[in-house]
Structure 1
Amino acid sequence: MTNTHEPTVEIDLDALRARYAHERDRRLRPDGATQYRRAAGAFGYYADDPYTERQERAAVTTPIEVLVIGAGFGGLLTATRLRQAGIRSVRLMDEAGDVGGTWYWNRYPGIHCDIESYVYMPLLEELGYVPAWRYAPGEEIRRHAVAIAERFDLYRDALFQTRATALTWDEDLAQWSVETDRGDRFHARHVVVSSGTLTHPKLPGIPGIEDFRGHTFHTSRWDYDYTGGSADGGLTRLGDKRVAVVGTGATGLQAIPHLAEAAGHLLVFQRTPSTVDVRDNRPTDPEWAASLEPGWQQERMDNFLAVLAGEPVDHSLVDDGWTRTPHLQRQILSGAVDESLSLEQRRLQDELADAETMERIRARVDEIVHDPETAELLKPWYRYMCKRPGFSDTYLSSFNRENVTLVDTADHGGITRMTETGIVVGDTEYEVDAVIFATGFEAGVSGVLSGTLPVSGRGGRQLLQHWQYGPRTLHGFYSHGFPNLFHLGALQNANSVNFVHILQDQAEHIAAVIGRAHAEGIDVIEPTAEAEELWCREVVATANDTRAFQAECTPGYYNGEGTRAITGMTYSPGPVVFRRLLREWRAGSMADVFARDDRTDLDGELDDLDLYDISERTGVART
């Protein structure tokens, strides 16, 4: 898709770049991502499950053909496709009390998906369901996840409120030995890891956070006993409370309007404002729903994916904020680029289009927010994809209420400290009754990557040791020396803003590979060392270098809070090209994974990948 954008307003790029750099520098912290702390240990109660009472049970020892760790959409789709491929012995495992992943945990007021529900919610046609809203509320999505599990018999053998603590390859049995925090000890021929995208909450490392004597909770564990109401709002118990919200990302955009309506006084603590574009949510048109023909969802999903990836399409079936800015999204995400232009021409053209988009978004703040000083603080001064774009029709107007105060913390590197009674920014203390942390998650960090789920492969080799210079896989799914172990996620794989579509493609691939091995009586699926290395080289050779773009961005999780530019992590040619590549690969013999190579691992030979250090490109640190 060719981008021939010409700006409609005169833009002084030099002045804009200087403003962006100034605003970035105000927010940079030397501690980077370590400014956050895990909701673990003394702070583990922030991650406790408030929705399902813990059920005691006997330890499980019965073996299983396939263990799927994670019961969000990735795990549900993989288990579903495995069922359809004829694999009946499938066990889901999740730390939550039920299926749904991020939609199980996140039930805060106002929660909706930011991707159109008709392309986001998977298996709609299989379940005969059309979402009630264009952008579905969280509870509708969670119930859809439950419906998938029920339809495809995924609750059978499932282990909830259970965390895998060790995976060890048993060479004699050619199976994985699995250990959990519930005392389970069983074998699984195959293990699929589908966890870690947006489930484990993170907290700001504010000095004195443990001293606060008021009420606190994380938005992903919303305390309705304290606030009253539900995800639809009506937080009636906050009328006499001074409530603080820390964080103004996607969660804050949705929860803050409800808190503003209910609280006696609401203080919003902001380090960096989000972009806030038009959401324009609306109920599904029943006539449109009745007119849908078989195959409608896959067609719509494929069209949306192609538009965002820059692939040619006759017309876009989805018209929203995402499909109006696909060329800007490819500053970070994978996809096609206009090869008719030089790299310098593309960068200049994209920067001009980016600037015009951001000027429009900043102008919207002035149109909605009455107080000029507050409006200025709410304006985002950075490139469009420095943070995940936000959408809301009610967030900005919340700051017109007399009971809402915006506290900007940028010049202080965030909140200075907490006391027994409040929050301190600089020299000013704000007394509050409750603090709600809308500070997000350890994005994309599964137990495997964090080390909380150690994986021991052939000969006792640790997976993180094998990945010490960055992920080493074939197609992002499996690694040499770690047979029958599959990963879902974006590492050395494709990516898009509609990540559920990516997960669906990955689930179909994994099910096809396991299904074929099952049909042909093959016990071990493991990429050869050569196939793994060739794929690592392909990912590096085709990678779009986003380091300069990310280094200029305001701090956020895309760039390691401003201290690390992450590039080369995904397959840059894009999800449409990647899907085609996998389809052609599956049409062959799959010999890359069905014939083990006994030669020595190639750790040393990877050093001649001369673009730059893989660990810097991927963001996976050396061990």
Structure 2
Amino acid sequence: MTFEPSTDPTTGSALDVDLDALRAKYRQERDRRIRPDGAAQYRRAAGEFGYYAKDPYTPWTERAPREDRVEVLVIGAGFGGLLTASRLRQQGVESLRLMDEAGDVGGTWYWNRYPGIHCDIESYVYMPLLEEIGYVPQWRYAPGEEIRRHAVAIAHHFDLYRDTLFQTRATGLSWDEEDEEWLVTTDRGDRFRARFVVTSSGTLTQPKLPGIPGIETFRGHTFHTSRWDYGYTGGNQDGDLTGLADKRVAVVGTGATGLQIIPHLGQDAQELIVFQRTPSTVDVRDNRRTDPQWAASLQPGWQRARMENFLAVLAGEPVEESLVQDGWTATTRLQRKILSGAVDTSLSPQERERQDEIADAHTMNRLRARVDEIVEDRATAEALKPWYRYMCKRPGFSDTYLPTFNRPNVTLVDTADTGGITRMTETAVVVGDTEYEVDCVIFATGFEVGVSGVISGTLPVVGRGGRSLLEAWARGPRTLHGFYSHGFPNLFHLSGIQNANSVNFAHILLEQAEHIAAVIGRGHAVGARAIEPTAQAEDAWVNTVHETAIDNRAFQAECTPGYYNGEGTRSIAGASYSPGPIAFHHLLRQWREGDMGDVLVHGRLDDARASQNVGAAR
């Protein structure tokens, strides 16, 4: 046994951690949940299941196909697209088009309107451009509708509704070598052209469904949380789901969304059955209204300073004072297992891992003890305890989730030993040999995380020489700084691929938007014909990302299955820039101070250069 004495960081009292026993318990619980089909256990909300992804919020509007031209097309009108378009507008770009499958701006916050929805990042650092819009959020952790309305305010403030295409999905991007611009096709019959294209199609918009046998035979009511059916449930984002008063309701999924909807469903449904594969960690949320005196005291530049401070604390960088003190800033050391950032190089890797594991055990022991303190039924409490390392799943926060299981009308069904729900019949959800008769099934099963249309191939991209982006990335993504790729001129991506990462991804998107706008602005200023990284610059960056990558494969292999580790089948090591967002943003600023010669193309992209560069890339 490895018996490690230590001290509880909260109480200062001595604690002992039996690491060998804890590892064995974690491994046992992981093995109960691993499925051989991995991520294939889910199915897309497409084809015969496409109705799960239909827009319930905006009536369909017919329009004639577009065959015009714009200077910049931004695909995606969530925060990434809005921020990029805003910064481009500030650069003086007038011919600018936003395009999105949704009926309005907002991205994730357009689609997700379920009861109880709040951001789990402090609103003062999460909601971008607060000072520019002149707004201070009403809550520390803002509700979804407040965030959605802020997205709309950004669009109005920067005049982004001028030339939008909503309810429109891009179906193809093809580089026209003669005219040196992109031909864009859509599912609305559009065939228009754009000199520059920015893809910000999001990674939390395409819902996924569990591949439950018989799901299509169920005759009751079903919907995905990202397309909440208030016509059936009644109520609104604040709850009051009166339509469920005589309904037996099933919820599938207990991740971040489940933590927020289940308290409302438990309060309003006649009966609620929660189907859980893996319990989430549930720490204190402690949400509260914004103090008006604090809001009135804020000085110009306050939000950028607070955002930078939060990002630095989470990245492990030294700060004089942590301005945001919450569950995220209290666990920064543990977040290094997944998120990029600085590490304590004064310790050997072995000692650093040992100390991290002990600290992790203390945090998880505290969270498991919280379950015991709140949940009255012992068997239910045991099933709700998370047995894995802290960052194996995205941490959860709620003050109302655990007490919901003390309600007499709420039942928890743990599906770990059956590999999930066994099947569905016309009237029931079946786990093992037990049937649970229900009137409604709500799928809180999340999204195709990290799979944009560009990555999945649903948005084919064909660059110079007829080469597809997926072909160029066949052995892994190839970019310069995560933004652009050799052979695909004037095409920019917003994502975490070979870029920075943080739990406050809105801040990451803001930095990405400012970088893209600055590069396009410099290109205009110096008369560059196109923007495209050289093969050499791309090679160098890919090598840098790989050489600096922190290998967390062993950690993720021991984790309970989830989207962080591809349901136990893969690692996300090396996906982003491991030294962290502070180091990455500093690197970008230094790069922008140079001549940008490795991306700005001044001569025509003629066939000779194309052949030379494609050869170098290969």
Q: Which amino acid aligns with 2:323?
A: L
Matched, 1:33 2:39: yes
Question: Please, which of 548, 552, 561 is the counterpart of residue 542 of structure 1?
Answer: 548
**For residues 393 and 29 of structure 1, what CA distance do their matches in structure 2 show?**
32
Aligned-pair distance for 1:87? 1.0
Question: Please, which of 176, 187, 194 is the counterpart of residue 188 of structure 1?
Answer: 194
Q: Deviations over 1:209-260 (max 9, x none)?
A: 0000000000000000000000000000101100000000000000000000
Q: Is the 8 A contact 1:6 1:353 kept in 2?
A: no
Question: Please, which of 213, 225, 232 is the counterpart of residue 231 of structure 2?
Answer: 225
Q: Secondary structure at the match of 2:531?
A: coil
Q: Is the 8 A contact 1:113 1:137 kept in 2?
A: yes
**For residues 531 and 456 of structure 1, what CA distance do their matches in structure 2 show?**
21
Residues 386-405 of structure 1 aligned to structure 2 (within 5 Å): 386-405=392-411
**For residues 337 and 6 of structure 1, what CA distance do their matches in structure 2 show?**
21
**For residues 221 and 473 of structure 1, what CA distance do their matches in structure 2 show?**
34
Aligned-pair distance for 1:604? 8.3
Q: Which residue of 2 aligns with 1:429?
A: 435
Q: Is the 8 A contact 1:246 1:439 kept in 2?
A: yes
Q: Secondary structure at the match of 2:132?
A: helix
Q: Which amino acid aligns with 1:336?
A: A
**For residues 442 and 46 of structure 1, what CA distance do their matches in structure 2 show?**
14
Matched, 1:383 2:402: no
Question: Please, which of 257, 267, 282 is the counterpart of residue 276 of structure 1?
Answer: 282
Question: Please, which of 12, 15, 32 is the counterpart of residue 9 of structure 1?
Answer: 15
Q: Deviations over 1:166-202 (max 9, x none)?
A: 0000001110000000011110000000013100100
Residues 87-102 of structure 1 aligned to structure 2 (within 5 Å): 87-102=93-108
**For residues 110 and 399 of structure 2, what CA distance do their matches in structure 1 show?**
25
Q: Which residue of 1 aligns with 2:486?
A: 480
Q: Normalized against structure 1, the TM-score is what?
A: 0.96
Stretches of structure 1 that go unaligned for 5 or more consecutive residues are 606-623
Q: Is the 8 A contact 2:339 2:502 kept in 1?
A: yes
**For residues 55 and 362 of structure 2, what CA distance do their matches in structure 1 show?**
44
Question: Please, which of 304, 307, 315 is the counterpart of residue 309 of structure 1?
Answer: 315
**For residues 67 and 348 of structure 2, what CA distance do their matches in structure 1 show?**
60
**For residues 526 and 547 of structure 2, what CA distance do their matches in structure 1 show?**
35
Q: Secondary structure at the match of 1:10?
A: strand
Q: Which amino acid aligns with 1:390?
A: G
**For residues 588 and 549 of structure 2, what CA distance do their matches in structure 1 show?**
18
Q: Which residue of 2 aligns with 1:521?
A: 527
Aligned-pair distance for 1:523? 2.4
Q: Which residue of 2 aligns with 1:170?
A: 176
The farther-off stretch of 512-521 and 257-266 is 512-521
Q: Is the 8 A contact 2:338 2:552 kept in 1?
A: yes
Q: Which residue of 2 aligns with 1:83?
A: 89
Question: Please, which of 207, 231, 235 is the counterpart of residue 213 of structure 2?
Answer: 207
Residues 7-406 of structure 1 aligned to structure 2 (within 5 Å): 7=8, 8-406=14-412
Matched, 1:491 2:497: yes
Q: Which amino acid aligns with 2:578?
A: S
Q: Which residue of 2 aligns with 1:614?
A: none
Q: Secondary structure at the match of 1:9?
A: strand
**For residues 381 and 393 of structure 2, what CA distance do their matches in structure 1 show?**
19
**For residues 268 and 393 of structure 2, what CA distance do their matches in structure 1 show?**
29
**For residues 269 and 364 of structure 1, what CA distance do their matches in structure 2 show?**
21
Q: Secondary structure at the match of 2:15?
A: coil
Q: Is the 8 A contact 1:198 1:443 kept in 2?
A: yes
Aligned-pair distance for 1:43? 0.1
Q: Deviations over 1:316-362 (max 9, x none)?
A: 00000000011111100000000100110111110000000000000
Aligned-pair distance for 1:61? 1.3
Q: Deviations over 1:302-323 (max 9, x none)?
A: 0000000011100100000000
**For residues 529 and 47 of structure 2, what CA distance do their matches in structure 1 show?**
40
| Paired-residue identity, % | 76
Q: Is the 8 A contact 1:134 1:282 kept in 2?
A: yes
Q: Is the 8 A contact 1:211 1:420 kept in 2?
A: yes
Q: Secondary structure at the match of 1:111?
A: coil
Q: Deviations over 1:264-319 (max 9, x none)?
A: 00000000000000000000000000000000000000000000001110010000
Aligned-pair distance for 1:601? 3.6
Matched positions, count? 602
Q: Which residue of 1 aligns with 2:516?
A: 510
Aligned-pair distance for 1:205? 0.2
**For residues 125 and 197 of structure 1, what CA distance do their matches in structure 2 show?**
27
Aligned-pair distance for 1:9? 1.4
Stretches (4+) displaced over 2 A: 5-8, 595-605
Question: Please, which of 420, 423, 448 is the counterpart of residue 417 of structure 1?
Answer: 423
Q: Is the 8 A contact 1:246 1:268 kept in 2?
A: yes
Residues 600-611 of structure 1 aligned to structure 2 (within 5 Å): 600-601=613-614
Q: Which amino acid aligns with 1:455?
A: V
Stretches of structure 2 that go unaligned for 5 or more consecutive residues are 1-5, 9-13
Q: Which residue of 2 aligns with 1:619?
A: none
**For residues 529 and 340 of structure 2, what CA distance do their matches in structure 1 show?**
34
**For residues 537 and 133 of structure 1, what CA distance do their matches in structure 2 show?**
43
Q: Secondary structure at the match of 1:553?
A: coil
Q: Is the 8 A contact 1:196 1:442 kept in 2?
A: no
**For residues 467 and 294 of structure 2, what CA distance do their matches in structure 1 show?**
55
**For residues 113 and 584 of structure 1, what CA distance do their matches in structure 2 show?**
33
**For residues 323 and 452 of structure 1, what CA distance do their matches in structure 2 show?**
38
Q: Secondary structure at the match of 1:304?
A: helix
Aligned-pair distance for 1:564? 1.1
Q: Which residue of 2 aligns with 1:613?
A: none
**For residues 112 and 248 of structure 1, what CA distance do their matches in structure 2 show?**
16
Q: Which residue of 2 aligns with 1:617?
A: none
Matched, 1:438 2:410: no
Aligned-pair distance for 1:602? 6.4
**For residues 538 and 293 of structure 1, what CA distance do their matches in structure 2 show?**
39
Q: Which amino acid aligns with 2:423?
A: R
Aligned-pair distance for 1:600? 4.5
**For residues 52 and 7 of structure 2, what CA distance do their matches in structure 1 show?**
48
**For residues 21 and 82 of structure 1, what CA distance do their matches in structure 2 show?**
49
Q: Is the 8 A contact 1:26 1:411 kept in 2?
A: yes
Q: Which amino acid aligns with 2:420?
A: G
